[in-house]
Structure 1
Amino acid sequence: MSSSENQSSGPRPEPPRTRDRIYRSPSALVAGVLLLLVIGWLGGDAVVTGEGRTPWLALAVMLFLVPLVIAFTLRPAVFAGEDRLRVRNPFRVVVLPWGEVASLRSGYTNEVVAASGEKYQLWSIPVSLRARKKAARQQARRDAAARGEGRRRGLSFGGGFGGLGGIDPVAADSDAGPVRAETDQVMDELREMWGAREKAAEAQGEVSVRWAYEVMGPAGAGAVLLVVVLLAVG
């Protein structure tokens, strides 16, 4: 047996795995940074220039608020990989293999439903009713323009092939698909990944849920310190 045959009969290298797609809310990130700057500015000033119990009260408030701001603005994210969906919410991290996902729902909130029936909200993909209404108006204008262009093309065709030349911009725009809000487009992408991977052997397993003690611990300590300081002041 030749060396080339020996090489071909060996184990084939596994195809490279793609990185997880990460979905976050840009508006939440901006709001979180601004809130942290305000808290740091006001709290730091109170700690440095405050008198009596004011510095302790400022420290307690900062210790209580900063973890909560991070939890609800900077922390939420959805990681969509080849084999699983990882949902990082303010106080929990949920890992769902694609095979355990029953549905991805979009209503007043976006959520993933596990095969067990448990529902988990996707905090980093918030629903914007305003964006949906805007997309619906854009779709209505596109449909109206397409109908008007269709009538003009029909008249032009009957009058002498004037509408057959070139590319119809309205038709080209309609070929791009319906107008959707950004978060609805994200949910469509997740549904495509789920449909493509739910039957894969690597995408099977159990759902795991972990509480975010790294957030709950500092916030709880801040709450206790705040209560102690308020009782001392009172």
Structure 2
Amino acid sequence: MTESDGTPHPGSAAPDGEPIYADRVYRSMPGVISGVLLLLVAGWLIGDAVLNGTGKTPWVALAAVPVFASPVIAYTLRPAVLANDRRLLVRNPLRTIDAPWAAVEGLRAGYSVELFAAGKKFQVWAVPVSLRQRKRANRELAKGGSGSLHASRLGMSTRPPRTVLPDAPDPTRAWSDQVVGVLQELAERNAGRAEAAGAVRISWCWWIIAPTLAGLVALIAVIAAA
């Protein structure tokens, strides 16, 4: 949780007297909104097929629920990045990567955001890279720079650059680049902490995988039934 100005909310004090900060959470809001809309539309269509369908249609619709809903949840609602002063937790569609800061080697935002930890590379699904947003940010940066240069040539005084609060929107940087910058700073600041040591842990999201496979088997069985 964060305060309204974008700074982390301080929790209770740690044994050494330092405050414990809640996790910073990053996720793609367009992805969440699209996932909710897809689930609503699918729920309406499947409900209609179950109530008004004939023959095998209701059973096919019911068997298709986990086959459709589970991947939608996995790829739109589940992805998130959680970071505190001890570790970085990356929730991807089918895997969760729990990386203490001491094991984080770096983050990079190219055509996608990538996490390098323990000699491996992981995609960060929760922070998609928008090339259009990046181009717009570059235009804003160039516009500010050219305006300041023009004013200085005319002998006009220019206002000091606007201070951007932590986690606050910065029009001169794409959102993905801002997130990577914040996480990289957290990694550099906390890598030496004793609480931030440990090995990278990777776990599979079986509550997504198992229902999808079971639903797929049931769907094939229902369709193949005479």
Length-normalised TM-score, structure 2:
0.87
Aligned mate of 2:54, from 51, 55, 70: 51
Q: Which has the larger radius of gyration?
A: 1
Name the SS for the 1:126 alignment partner. coil
Matches within 5 A, 1:120-139: 120-139=122-141
Against the structure 1 CA distance between its residues 51 and 178, is the aligned structure 2 distance closer, same or farther, given a 3 Å change threshold? closer
Q: Deviations over 1:89-128 (max 9, x none)?
A: 100111000000111111111011013x211111100101
| RMSD over aligned Cα atoms | 1.7
Which structure's residues are more often helix, by fraction?
1
Inter-CA distance 100–34: structure 2 relative to 1 (3 Å threshold): same
Choose between structure 1 and 2: higher strand proportion: 2
Cα distance in structure 2, aligned partners of 1:43 and 1:22:
33
2:137–2:174 contact (8 Å) kept in structure 1:
yes
SS in 2 for 1:30: helix
8 Å Cα contact 2:140-2:171 kept in structure 1: no
Matched letter for residue 206 of structure 1: A
Quick one: which of 172, 176, 196 aligns to 1:203? 196
* Unaligned stretches of 5+ residues in structure 2: 1-14, 165-169
Partner of 1:230: 223
Q: Percent identity?
A: 44
Letter in 2 for 1:29: V
Once superposed, which parts of structure 1, at least 4 consecutive aligned residues long, lie more than 4 Å away?
175-178
Shift in Å, 1:231? 1.4
Shift of 1:178: 8.4
- Residues 1:193 and 2:186 aligned together: yes
Query: Number of residues paired by the alignment?
Result: 207
Question: What is the CA–CA distance in structure 2 between the aligned matches of 1:152 and 1:195, rounded to whole Å?
Answer: 42
Match of 2:120 among 118, 121, 142: 118
Contact kept in structure 1, 2:109 and 2:176, CA below 8 Å: no
Structure 2 equivalent of residue 31 of structure 1: 34
Question: Structure 2 counterpart of 1:48, which letter?
Answer: L
Q: Which runs of 5+ in 1 are unaligned?
A: 1-11, 154-162
Shift of 1:16: 2.9
Secondary structure, aligned partner of 1:205: coil
